[in-house]
Amino acid sequence: MSKGKDRPDLPQVRLESGIEVKPVYTADDIAATAIAADDIAPPGEYPFTRGIHPLMYRRRPFTMRQYAGFGTPEETRRRFAYLMERGQTGLNVAFDLPTQVGLDSDDPQAEGEVGRVGMAVDTLADMETAFEGIDLNEITVSLTINGSAPIIMAMYFALAEKRGYDLSSLRGTAQNDILKEFVSRNTWIFPVEPSVKMVGDTIEYCARHLPRYSPVSVCGYHIREAGADPVQEMAYAFLIARAYIDHSLERGLSVDDFASRLSFNFDIHGNFFEQIAKFRAGRRLWARIVKEDYGARNPRSGWLRMIAGGGGGGLTIEQPENNIARSAYYALISTLSGTQTMALCTYDEAYTIPTEKAARIALRTMQLLTTEMGITDTVDPLAGSYYVETLTNQMESLIRQEMDRVESAGGIVKAISQGEIQARVARQAYAWEKGLRDGSIRKVGVNCFVEEEEERQVEFHPYDEGAAARQVRSLKRVRSQRDASRVAGALAALETAARQGQNLVEPCIRAVSVYASVGEITTVLKRVFGTYREPRIF
């Protein structure tokens, strides 16, 4: 075993990002790693190392936005109500796999997956049911959807219009980050270029019609969950965000027209201080990118607005109650990192859809932090720590280096199209799993402090086999009651717009407003754009 530099009898400590940790830090370490004179500025001031708001949580705590959705829209609405009645302050909607990949619930390929890992949505009628009785001005909604995001966003906008909301003041977020889907989750539909074009359509449409809505939440979270280290998580997310910015600028928008409405979704698991430093470094680096590289004049354009909570990849099936403690630490990291929104994984997410009990414990964990622990009393309480500031500087340097490496090789879109990013992440995922198995990476309850005769008393979320049948019946009812000629006309207009390279958001709104389905709209777009074929990465 290699030894530490300062004490030959100490084992070396190396973070996942490759940084070697010294036993002791001083002001000299901060000075040696400093990047610029304004590395640490007051909260709310460029480059926002200490937070994007001057008073942060002292003014208003972070939004608590648990990820929820399963079965039919009726079941999901009941879970929404359960969480809101217990103090949740935002909604984060999970959609089932068929909806994510543009299939209707009665499609043969959807069999066995309808409503299983999220809410089934086929038509606008489902969105109307899911959000019945919910004031869209009082509670903001995050739509966690990517491949079919333009369609689901169109449904949400159509729903808001139908209920009389002013779209120019409507708030909310769509994940809508298709590039990370090619890297990690694989719920893509169309090839890379038209997929990026449709993300650009939503950015442009929102900039012109929904200036308070966030059309993209760039998702380093899933890249990290797929195997990337903390440096790559931030670097690839920033490169993807840059790709969307570059595309939008080519449309004639200015960076200040839309950059302030870009948001980010990041992961938390692993070393406590490494996670905090990556967010402080990332916030600072993103501000510099937007100002220095894109010439933004509005300070808000450079805000790293993020949702950050527990990463499911850090949770374990073994000794699942340990996940309650893990999630509490993840929530603490998120708070100390200056997040705007938190979505905390539940202790049972390693093996099932969260039960009401598990969801309540996760929500109470966040409420404990804001109510009892004093964590929100002052801004960035770790600022000035020799270790934290040094680590923040080191993380910023490493993130920038990884970004430069990808840019010099042709950029993130090319690297994803050719499978290079996917290969790097997959190799690291393999190395991580190998480390868990040989014990070189220690995981409590998995390869150390193991209970030889562990009794797993866990409650599995029930899957209602009848939910799929009810959803299919609902879809058939909508089809029988809608005006078929109006649907055909709207789908034909959408196809024409797609072939002519027009912005597709408005045609999608018109199509969903007459109750065209997710599958029908996707089929039209597949005729124009085709479908994605994965490159070989090994």
pLDDT digit string, tens, across residues 40-83: 899 999 999 999 999 999 999 999 999 999 999 999 999 999 99
Least confident residue range of 230-234, 466-470, 491-495: 466-470
Contact of 145 with 95, CB cutoff 8 Å: yes
Q: Higher-confidence residue: 350 or 100?
A: 100
Instruction: Provide the pLDDT for residue 462.
Output: 73
pLDDT digits (tens, 9 = 90+) for 101-139: 999 999 999 999 999 999 999 999 999 999 999 999 999
- Residue 46 and residue 286: Cα distance in Å, rounded? 11
**Confidence label for 1 from pLDDT (cuts 50, 70 and 90):** very low
Instruction: Provide the pLDDT for residue 196.
Output: 98
| Mean pLDDT of the 235-247 span | 98
Task: Annotate 60-113 with DSSP letters as a single string.
Answer: SPPEE--EE--BSHHHHHHHHHHHHHTT--EEEEEB-HHHHTT--TTSGGGTTT
Instruction: Provide the pLDDT for residue 348.
Output: 93
Q: Is pLDDT at 259 greater than 50 in this prediction?
A: yes
Nearest C-alpha neighbor of 333 from the set 276, 264, 270: 276
Instruction: Provide the pLDDT for residue 5.
Output: 53
Contact of 363 with 64, CB cutoff 8 Å: yes
SS3 172: strand
Nearest C-alpha neighbor of 68 from the set 523, 461, 506, 492: 461
Q: What are phi and psi of 268, to 5 degrees?
A: -135, 110
Q: What are phi and psi of 30, to 5 degrees?
A: -60, -50
Instruction: Provide the pLDDT for residue 3.
Output: 45
Using a pLDDT cut of 90, give the percent of the chain over it.
Answer: 91
CB count within 10 Å of CB 13 equals 12
Burial of 502 (0-12, 13-18, 19+ CB in 10 A): middle
For residue 118, what are the contacts with CB-CB under 8 A and spacing of at least 6? 69, 70, 93, 94, 95, 96, 97, 99, 100
Q: Is pLDDT at 309 greater than 90 in this prediction?
A: no
**Confidence label for 520 from pLDDT (cuts 50, 70 and 90):** very high
**Confidence label for 453 from pLDDT (cuts 50, 70 and 90):** confident
Task: Please report how many Cα atoms fall inside a 13 Å half-sphere around the Cα of residue 445, on the Cβ side.
Answer: 15
pLDDT digits (tens, 9 = 90+) for 149-189: 999 999 999 999 999 999 999 999 999 999 999 999 999 99
Report the length, in residues, of the chain. Answer: 538
Instruction: Provide the pLDDT for residue 254.
Output: 98
Q: What are phi and psi of 67, to 5 degrees?
A: -75, 125
Instruction: Provide the pLDDT for residue 473.
Output: 97
Instruction: Provide the pLDDT for residue 538.
Output: 66
Complete domains list, the chain, with CATH: 27-413 (3.20.20.240)
Burial of 348 (0-12, 13-18, 19+ CB in 10 A): buried
